[in-house]
Amino acid sequence: MKLPSESIPNKVLVKKEAETSSNYGTTPENRTLKESLNYGIVNIDKPKGPTSHQVADYVKKILNLKKAGHSGTLDPIVTGSLVVTLGNATKVTQVLLKGGKEYLCLMHLHKSVEKKEIEKVMNEFIGEITQLPPVKSSIKRQKRKRTIYYMKILEVEEQDVLFYVGTQAGTYIRKLCHDIGQKLEVGAHMAQLIRTKVGPYNEKTIHTLHELKDAYEYYKEGNEKELKKIILPVESAIVHLPKIWILDTTVDSLTHGADLNIPGISKLNEFSRNELVAILTLKGELVALAESVLSSEAIMKNEKGLAAVTKKVFMKFDIYPKMKK
């Protein structure tokens, strides 16, 4: 039972042995707190009541930031993981949507059904499904395809079914419960919903708004320890993407929006053509997101040519030196 974000590429191909200079940049874990506040992520345990936008706004006000975004809307009555991106990290939101989401759902059946029959019907929904969003939804109401990665029943008590479900972003769990009820020919509705995972973020990284506020108060008093525990580096959002590590002398041109050519590559994961890849420094800092023009196999075979087209730049320019001509 895995979300796409839990399949982490681990094979590294070395194109060119290289070292990074300690004179430029820093590893993500060694950023100053000021840098992290403009380049970080917090996983908030959204309470029942406020909208996702309101929670992101609370985070922005607590941390005294100009900009903050969130990773996907939760209904006011739904609780659980709401990933809030800070400052320049708001650009990574679309990547999180590709990582999948997990929910703990309590579904109420309108009549009792045997557990075996419930499991059988649920299994029919695993894979690609077609959904028509509810009448009350934030998007245009038209049929669309979504993927259910897994469903696992934890408990059945009379007409209540408690289960985990891993889904593609944009899947309506309320509608899923309704459709399961129809398939069982008894009817069903969603009684309660908690989001337990957003991409790589889960219960191990989650914090309440109160914890965030307390940590920021400690920070203002000179104690950074608690806030550093809560704010995660933007790189934590791209763990599931294939990566390309580039030379120090290549970094500056990409921060100005240039595309990546083969001579600037030190090492890389395996990937195909036209795949979304993360471009990192040799210290592990996220420089940009790009679309691969060549496969990793082709990059390893060639010494020249375009490797990837830059789509979004995260790193500020002038952190690394310009390439000498």
Position 318, amino acid = D
pLDDT score of 259 more than 60: yes
Residue 325's pLDDT is what?
Answer: 56
User: Phi/psi of residue 190, each to 5°?
Assistant: -75, 125
Residue 132's pLDDT is what?
Answer: 82
What percentage of the chain has pLDDT greater than the value 70? 97
Residue 96's pLDDT is what?
Answer: 86
| Catalytic option among 75, 160, 214, 259 | 75
**CA–CA separation, 323 and 264 (whole Å):** 10
Q: What average pLDDT score do residues 191-198 get?
A: 97
**CA–CA separation, 238 and 72 (whole Å):** 16
Concatenated DSSP letters of 64-86:
T-S-EEESS---TT-EEEEEEEE
**CA–CA separation, 27 and 220 (whole Å):** 24
β-sheet bridge partners, residue 289: 278, 312
* 211, containing H or E segment: helix 209-220
pLDDT score of 244 more than 90: yes
Instruction: Say how many C-beta atoms besides its own lie within 10 A of residue 123's C-beta.
Output: 12
* 137, containing H or E segment: none
Identify the structural domains of the chain with CATH numbers, from first to last. 7-28+241-313 (2.30.130.10), 31-97+201-234 (3.30.2350.10), 101-198 (3.30.70.3190)
**CA–CA separation, 218 and 222 (whole Å):** 6
Residue 323 pLDDT grade (very low, low, confident, very high; cuts 50, 70, 90): confident
Is pTM beyond 0.85? Reply is yes
Residue 71's pLDDT is what?
Answer: 84
Residue 225's pLDDT is what?
Answer: 94
**CA–CA separation, 227 and 246 (whole Å):** 31
**CA–CA separation, 217 and 213 (whole Å):** 6
Q: What is the pLDDT of residues 74-105, one digit of tens each?
A: 999 999 999 999 999 999 988 888 899 999 99
pLDDT score of 151 more than 60: yes
The SS3 assignment for 184 reads helix
Structure token digits, residue 213? 């506020």
Residue 130 pLDDT grade (very low, low, confident, very high; cuts 50, 70, 90): very high
Q: What average pLDDT score do residues 179-192 get?
A: 97
Q: What average pLDDT score do residues 130-157 get?
A: 83
Contact between residue 121 and residue 183 where contact means Cβ atoms under 8 Å apart: yes
Concatenated DSSP letters of 50-69:
S-HHHHHHHHHHHTT-S-EE
Residue 139 pLDDT grade (very low, low, confident, very high; cuts 50, 70, 90): low
Q: What is the DSSP letter of 201?
A: B
**CA–CA separation, 259 and 266 (whole Å):** 15
Q: Which residue has the tokens 């990793």?
A: 296
Residue 79's pLDDT is what?
Answer: 97
**CA–CA separation, 262 and 300 (whole Å):** 9
Residue 234's pLDDT is what?
Answer: 96
The mean pLDDT of the chain is 94
CA angle 291-275-253, nearest 5°?
25
Q: What average pLDDT score do residues 264-290 get?
A: 97
Using N-to-C axis directions, what is the helix angle for 115-124 and 173-184, rounded to 10°? 120
pLDDT score of 128 more than 80: yes
75 is catalytic: yes
Residue 113 pLDDT grade (very low, low, confident, very high; cuts 50, 70, 90): very high
Q: What average pLDDT score do residues 276-297 get?
A: 97
Q: What is the DSSP letter of 39?
A: S
End-to-end CA distance of the chain, in Å? Answer: 51
**CA–CA separation, 225 and 159 (whole Å):** 47
Q: What is the pLDDT of residues 21-37, one digit of tens each?
A: 999 999 999 999 999 99
Residue 55's pLDDT is what?
Answer: 97
pLDDT score of 54 more than 90: yes
C-alpha distances out from residue 222 to 33, 41, 63, 64, 208, Å = 11, 21, 15, 16, 21
Nearest-CA neighbor of 104 among 225, 195, 209?
195
